[in-house]
Structure 1
Amino acid sequence: MKAQLSDAKLYNELMASAKKVGVIAEQEAVEADRNATISKNVADAIVEGGLNRLIIPKEYGFPQIDFNTFADIVRTVGYHNLSAAWVTYFYALHNSWVAFLPKNRMDEIYEDGGLLADIFAPVGKVEKVEGGFILNGRWNFVSGINHSEWISVGAVYHEEGAAVPDRIGLCMRVSDLEVIEDWDSLGLRGSGSNSVVADNLFVPEDMVISFNEMMMNRKPYTPEVDEDYLYYNVSFFPAFYVGFPAMAIGAAERVIEEFIARTKKRRRFDGTNEGESAKSQRVAAEMSLKLKSAKGLMKEYIEMLESDQGQYNPAEYNGIRVHIIQNCQDIAIRAVATLGASALAKGQPLEMIMRDLMAISTHVTSLYEDGIDNYGKALFGVDSMAMG
């Protein structure tokens, strides 16, 4: 069982910081949508609230939180703005792979204090040379890159004599890469998920992490990281993906509140108040039950993470996660379709949340058909490609 955060004062401070980030982002949502990035104001609020420093070993002087607290932070920001929740989650989360680097590199990155980005799609090309690798490649969808100082990118390396290739992450300063501002999406526009390019870049050996080893070891292999650390002895990738369903739940909560408030004020052509309509009441009830189902699955997901000693199939996590996100997306679409054309006005909460939830559902770890297929295979003892 993972340690639980028992400091109520700290918890409340973190939630207040998360709300502050969300409120600022909501106030700037239309501008962020137009600019395809959150503003410096939002990035600064994340840093000022310490939300980017929560997944760091306690030796560096930061509080050790639990998965419920982490999920609540992301959910709170997501209630106000999903693009801000996306980058808040990632800026905190990406510290977890730093703990798998040698101690001197941990010191360098953690003590620098810069925000972190990553893109682990293994599309990079590497050549082994003395002391490290020569890296080439282009990676798309690097969320939050506009405000980041550090980044890790993915590649495949087949070491001579190894039975199978290894997926690796190569870490560097963002300034070592070319950033191409090409993010122009339907949803999560404020995430600033631009592309990066490496051109014959030398990456030292001690700035490379092995995903194969991370999955096998289940914990950082440096002795300085102890059992209080959130990513110590967990199923790494299911733990890494915990924020996606959490932010979706926060958005779904907001959708239902907006739906009920707007329905109470809505008058039909015949003069009747829609809030008194059994039809809209039934819709609200069904959406609320879907949200309760999503929250129940989220609770089970975290309980699995906290007790996981390797007994859970990664595909089960995958199935739970995609089902939560699908429930939340269904809630948003149902609300907009029931309220009618007025809910489609650009820049108002329901329209933006619907687009953003659709974008979340297209992330490679959140694809519903893939996740359900993986879980179904696991139920019949068939191997799947699910990592978590």
Structure 2
Amino acid sequence: MTDEVLERVRDLLPAIAGRNPVAEEDRRLPAETVADLVSVGAFRMLQPKRYGGLESDPVRFYEVVREVSTVCGSSGWVLSILGVHPWHVGLFPREAQDEVWAGGPDVLICSSYAPIGRLTAVEGGYLLSGRWSFASGCDHASWALLGGLVVGDEGRPVDFLSVLVPRADFQVLDVWDPVGLRGTGSNDIVVDKAFVPAHRIVRNYDVSQLRAPGRAVNPGPLFALPFGAVFTTAVAAPVVGVVSGCYETYVAAMRDRVRLSLGGGRFVEDQGAQVAVARAASEIDAAVLQLDRNMADLYDHAVRDAEIPMELRLRARRDQVRATERALAAIDLLFQSAGGNSLRRGNPIERAWRDAHAGSMHVANDAQRALALYGKGAFSLPVEDTLV
């Protein structure tokens, strides 16, 4: 079924690409695009089987994400982010999972993981309040995964949590108006003193230690993987896919181009253009190969029920941010070598350049932070970070 998703997604690509102008103008994905991706099971690839999901090999999921991203960065981004959330919900207690999928397997879940929310303990759970930004695809979501912290008596944070909130308990504020990934609808979410029962909460520390309560009902290898690899790869894969698609478009468009300056001549005969294409292709290949290798190695450990070494977890984070850096290096080469034509609004190179750079701004793509973590591990220093 996983391979079928990829084939069915490929059949959707022309229609998704044709809706690019609408997504850019409306600043959110068209309902038709979301419905198309739902219909082929793309959002259910990392969802528990007990709730109608596919529990796919994660490498296949990211391949589908990259494929969609080649024609529409916003569609690929929303698929990747919303598509990884069923996996995270699968780490919550069974009662929470039962609630989320009570109405069927095609529920969409958005997120904003920054620990902005304030949780006040009450009988049976917590009261949650806060305002979160960058909740991609939230207009299409029935649930939200939100970051929150519990504050002690002295006003200091004592615990960092992820909480599940139904659509009835949050408000979407239409504030998204960026230069790139315009169609992701990454608006703000507001919650005002919503009651969150204890079963709709997981401790970020427990998840990072691979001790999430949901493993009691989802024992498959997919749910033995670290959040720090699964989620962060989800914010790198669309960027790589965007640039990969731009590369193919660039090569096809430039084959017949004739320079109108610098002595004229066919563009493809210019050595500088040839070198730029070679460098860009190599960067894209390296990004894909490292992302896939690391996720395959992680999944292999999980399938064998073997302990996942910290060295591998750190390598996955290292190469995830490097994949984003490589993708940006490639798109910058293409953008620059395309000349003045790349500046025209609405052309594929210009849009891909904006989308790739916008995606790189996600905190999980912060190269300095992730590379420093790897360096600490290499020097045998202690590493404490929930995104590993």
TM-score by length of 2: 0.90
User: How many Å apart are 1:72 and its aligned residue?
Assistant: 0.9
Report what 1:5 is aligned to.
none
Name which of 155, 167, 171 aligns with 2:148.
155
| Higher mean displacement: 187-196 or 310-319 | 310-319
Asked whether the equivalents of residues 144 and 193 of structure 1 are also in contact (C-alpha less than 8 Å), the reply is yes
**Counterpart code for 1:296:** L
Aligned equivalents of 1:55 and 1:333: distance in 2?
32
User: How many Å apart are 1:221 and its aligned residue?
Assistant: 3.8
Aligned equivalents of 2:15 and 2:54: distance in 1?
25
- Aligned 1:43-58 pairs, distance under 5 A: 43-58=34-49
- Aligned 1:92-111 pairs, distance under 5 A: 92-111=83-102
Name which of 228, 235, 241 aligns with 1:244.
235
Aligned equivalents of 1:33 and 1:322: distance in 2?
26
Aligned equivalents of 1:237 and 1:64: distance in 2?
18
Asked whether the equivalents of residues 210 and 226 of structure 2 are also in contact (C-alpha less than 8 Å), the reply is no
The structure-2 alpha-carbon separation of the partners of 1:383 and 1:187, relative to structure 1 and needing over 3 Å to count, comes to farther
Aligned equivalents of 2:41 and 2:162: distance in 1?
25
- Aligned 1:257-272 pairs, distance under 5 A: 257-269=248-260, 270-272=263-265
Matched pairs, number:
376
Aligned equivalents of 2:250 and 2:216: distance in 1?
51
Asked whether the equivalents of residues 29 and 347 of structure 1 are also in contact (C-alpha less than 8 Å), the reply is no
User: How many Å apart are 1:63 and its aligned residue?
Assistant: 2.5
Report what 1:70 is aligned to.
61
Aligned equivalents of 1:372 and 1:23: distance in 2?
38
Asked whether the equivalents of residues 183 and 193 of structure 1 are also in contact (C-alpha less than 8 Å), the reply is yes
The structure-2 alpha-carbon separation of the partners of 1:383 and 1:22, relative to structure 1 and needing over 3 Å to count, comes to farther
Aligned equivalents of 1:346 and 1:31: distance in 2?
14
User: How many Å apart are 1:263 and its aligned residue?
Assistant: 2.0
Query: Could you list the runs of 5+ residues in structure 2 that have no partner in the other structure?
Result: 302-306
SS of residue in 1 equivalent to 2:102 = helix
The C-alpha deviation readout for 1:1-41, integer Å capped at 9, x for no partner, is xxxxxxxxx24421133334543332111221121101101
After TM superposition, where is structure 1 displaced by more than 4 Å over at least 4 residues in a row?
A: none
Aligned equivalents of 1:61 and 1:177: distance in 2?
26
SS of residue in 2 equivalent to 1:265 = coil
Name which of 309, 312, 325 aligns with 2:310.
312
The C-alpha deviation readout for 1:183-238, integer Å capped at 9, x for no partner, is 1112111110000111121111121122111122355445321225x22x222221
Aligned equivalents of 2:34 and 2:167: distance in 1?
16
Aligned equivalents of 1:66 and 1:155: distance in 2?
30
**Counterpart code for 2:34:** A
SS of residue in 2 equivalent to 1:310 = coil
Report what 1:34 is aligned to.
25
Asked whether the equivalents of residues 55 and 96 of structure 1 are also in contact (C-alpha less than 8 Å), the reply is yes
Asked whether the equivalents of residues 2 and 60 of structure 2 are also in contact (C-alpha less than 8 Å), the reply is yes
- After superposition, the CA RMSD in angstroms is 2.2
Asked whether the equivalents of residues 141 and 167 of structure 2 are also in contact (C-alpha less than 8 Å), the reply is yes
User: How many Å apart are 1:375 and its aligned residue?
Assistant: 2.3
SS of residue in 2 equivalent to 1:118 = strand
Name which of 108, 118, 128 aligns with 2:111.
118
SS of residue in 1 equivalent to 2:381 = coil
Aligned equivalents of 1:33 and 1:19: distance in 2?
21
Asked whether the equivalents of residues 329 and 358 of structure 1 are also in contact (C-alpha less than 8 Å), the reply is yes
| Higher mean displacement: 178-187 or 264-273 | 264-273
Aligned equivalents of 1:51 and 1:151: distance in 2?
19
**Counterpart code for 1:174:** R
Aligned equivalents of 1:190 and 1:25: distance in 2?
12
TM-score by length of 1: 0.90
SS of residue in 2 equivalent to 1:203 = strand
SS of residue in 2 equivalent to 1:291 = helix
Give the percent of matched residue pairs that are identical in Structure 1 and Structure 2.
24
Report what 2:304 is aligned to.
none
